Structure 1
Amino acid sequence: MKIEFAGSTKAITYCYPVMAELRPHITLENFVEQVIRMQENHQYQLVYLEDEGVKSVAGIRIAEWLYAGKYLEIDDLVTTAEARSKGYGGILFDWVRNYAKEMQCDQVRLLSGVQREHAHRFYLNKGMKFEAKYFSLNL
């Protein structure tokens, strides 16, 4: 088992089938283009856990807010359906948390859709807490 950053087009492509389970509206071509654009413009990093194939993928970025200081944001965290409840998501989450500490972040943050109750339980079990309500406005 290993955890690596997807720093090449080949590695990004390798992560796509797992990410597509969470983001099925994104085609492979759009996924690769968007990840590369986000890497170049928004400090986005794609991280994956491999154990005889990709089992879990996380999209992360480091930023700062005036009220929260330096933080690591988890944009996406998904484990492939056949590997769920086998510990892979927890291992990748713990790796991300440790990476945030190494990068001297004050917090790990994420947004999770209100309908994702299983994910909420997972995050609460990992020590996270509900802190805010997120508002959006489609343009």
Structure 2
Amino acid sequence: MTPLLRHPHVGDAPAIVELLAQLGYPGAEAFIERRLRELDEHPDALLRVAEADGVVLGVISLHFLPQLALPRDFCRIAYLCVAEGARGLGIGARLEAWAEAQARLRDCDRIELHSGVRRVDAHRFYARIGYAESPKYLVKSLA
């Protein structure tokens, strides 16, 4: 299976909500259409979905961030999720390869992502495609 990578549209909202829930972010249905529109208009954000036979099987969200101390920007994978039943088929690797191509087009010096400690399978996936662990990630909730 070679899924099509394409720009998401509002009709993809239910599938993206389900993917986000599988990633551990339930409840996005209340705001997902607004967020899709906002990210679509943001100059430093890119989204893609992976679709096969009319079914959205994966989603990736990128953000490009300027750096003060270094001459080039970096790319952050904010969300990357492949549907549970489609994992292991190369969809995640294809989405990540697209992200790398976009980062290179924007002359970024690296790609970063954050992956929770409980996502052991995701960590193995990222290690296989060249990511190195960079420990110590701190968060302060503003909620």
TM-score normalised by the chain length of structure 2: 0.83
Does the CA-based 8 Å contact 1:42-1:61 persist in structure 2?
no
* Counterpart for residue 136 of structure 2: 133
In structure 1, give the amino acid aligned to 2:87: R
CA distances 1:74-111 after superposition (whole Å, capped 9, x unpaired): 00000001101111111111111112112211111111
Describe how 1:38-117 pairs up with structure 2 within 5 A.
Answer: 38-40=39-41, 43-52=44-53, 53-67=55-69, 69-117=72-120
**CA distance in structure 1 between the aligned counterparts of 2:5 and 2:62, rounded to whole angstroms:** 14
Alignment partner of 2:125: what SS? helix
Seen in structure 2, the aligned counterparts of structure 1 residues 29 and 63 have a Cα distance that, compared at 3 Å, is: same
**CA distance in structure 2 between the aligned counterparts of 1:23 and 1:36, rounded to whole angstroms:** 22
Q: How many residue pairs are counted as aligned between the two chains?
A: 138
**CA distance in structure 2 between the aligned counterparts of 1:91 and 1:21, rounded to whole angstroms:** 19
Does the CA-based 8 Å contact 2:13-2:29 persist in structure 1?
no
Seen in structure 2, the aligned counterparts of structure 1 residues 84 and 97 have a Cα distance that, compared at 3 Å, is: same
Identity %: 24
**CA distance in structure 1 between the aligned counterparts of 2:11 and 2:24, rounded to whole angstroms:** 19
Give unmatched runs, 5+ long, in structure 2: none
Aligned: 1:120 with 2:114? no
Greater displacement, 33-42 / 80-89: 33-42
RMSD value, Cα:
2.1
